Amino acid sequence: MSITQSRISRRTATVLAVALLAVLVPAEAGTTASTPLSQLQRDSDALRDDGVTGVSVRLETPRGVRTARSGVGDLSTTEPVPQNGYVRIGNTTKTFVATVLLQLVGEGRLSLDDTVDQWLPGVVRGHGNDGRRVTLRQLLQHTSGLPDYIGDVVPDLSAAGYRKNRWTTYTSEQRVAFAMQHRPSFMPGSSWEYSNTNYVLIGMVIKAATGHSWEHEVRARILRPLRLTHTVVPGNWPFLPRPHARDYQQFEPGGTMTDTTIAYLPFDDDADGAMISTTADTNKFFRALVRGEILAPAQLAEMQRTVEVPADHGAPPGTRDGLGLDWTPLSCGGGYWGHSGDGFGYLVWPATTSDGQSAVTVSLHSRPGDEGTAVRQIGDITALVDHALCSSRSGGTP
């Protein structure tokens, strides 16, 4: 799901959200009419005004840390969004998983040119899908053409369907088997389309190569060394640690709001989107990654070797996709690295300058039911990130 790419992702983008509540949701507590608002706060309030129930932003630059919150963290109590609360990071999990695989490449334990079949014989077969023709690089970069399993695990895209199916769990093998019931989108390497199936397979390859689960390797190779003590790989545990804001999803335009704080386990518990973090930990991870503190130079260069993301896939103009890492241009020149993540009722958008000196993570706690509102909210996020990172470069006040 990330930058709202595949066919099912574009379809779910129009239902991942909440009704417009701008008149009901106040700005961050403590702000008065006489207090001048920072650009970061104004941009956060713009998201609230475009219907997001709760917004949390953390910006880190060489000059220090700035935060902003807007809206509320709980519609029933009107409590504010907690400072540095836990958030689902969804598809941002893919960057962690890609980092582990690239570390294994650096150790000589596998190659990006290895085929899926070399590590998972016979797993990718059926309806024209063939793991003998798909490489690990193509999985990481979404150029495999493999179909996305997500549509198969969302049989009822409604509030009732969410409540009925949210506890259902699947193995990685079952998720891949769902995908294999569909024809590939294109021949491997000939085009680009986001597919969560790619990273379910990467998680399986990590286990085949190391003997350990992808979760174990992420903890051992990334979370512990970087001391990301507030980043969690929850497995099938569907609840968020405290403190956290509540997440809300509108399943149809103008429909009622559904509390979706409990994970939707059919797609929230595998290598494509299971992890939980905070805005502080997320910034710390991406800054360390871009600075070369996790990967050797050769592997970081491979991660940052990008291809164009087609304009019709919902990404900001000029976005390019690397190996689990996206690049988006800035209005002031250059661009930023990151990988967004979303699901029922949440969206997180991390962004880090190319030198790793500045980073911002935006967390939304609701998603709208109509495509127009979803597009406006993405525009608000990209404007916030652009203002924050360009101001950090120019020495201005975000």
Decide: helix, strand or coil at residue 341: strand
Domain of 107? 7-394
Domain contains 303:
yes
Q: In the chain, how many domains are there?
A: 1
Distance CA 378, CA 312 (A): 14
Pick 313 or 383 by higher pLDDT: 383
| pTM score | 0.91
Helices (H) and strands (E) in the chain, counts: 14, 16
Domain contains 2:
no
CATH code for the domain in which residue 237 is found:
3.40.710.10
Q: Are 227 and 294 in contact (CB under 8 A)?
A: no
Confidence of residue 30 (pLDDT cuts 50, 70, 90): very low
pLDDT tens track for 218-252: 999 999 999 999 999 999 999 999 999 999 999 99
Distance CA 213, CA 207 (A): 5
Average pLDDT over residues 370-389: 96
Distance CA 157, CA 166 (A): 11
Decide: helix, strand or coil at residue 378: helix
Confidence of residue 23 (pLDDT cuts 50, 70, 90): very low
**What was the pLDDT predicted at 395?**
56
Distance CA 191, CA 237 (A): 36
Domain contains 1:
no
**What was the pLDDT predicted at 10?**
41
Confidence of residue 254 (pLDDT cuts 50, 70, 90): confident
Decide: helix, strand or coil at residue 253: coil
Confidence of residue 11 (pLDDT cuts 50, 70, 90): very low
pLDDT tens track for 183-200: 999 999 999 999 999 999
**What was the pLDDT predicted at 315?**
87
Confidence of residue 392 (pLDDT cuts 50, 70, 90): confident
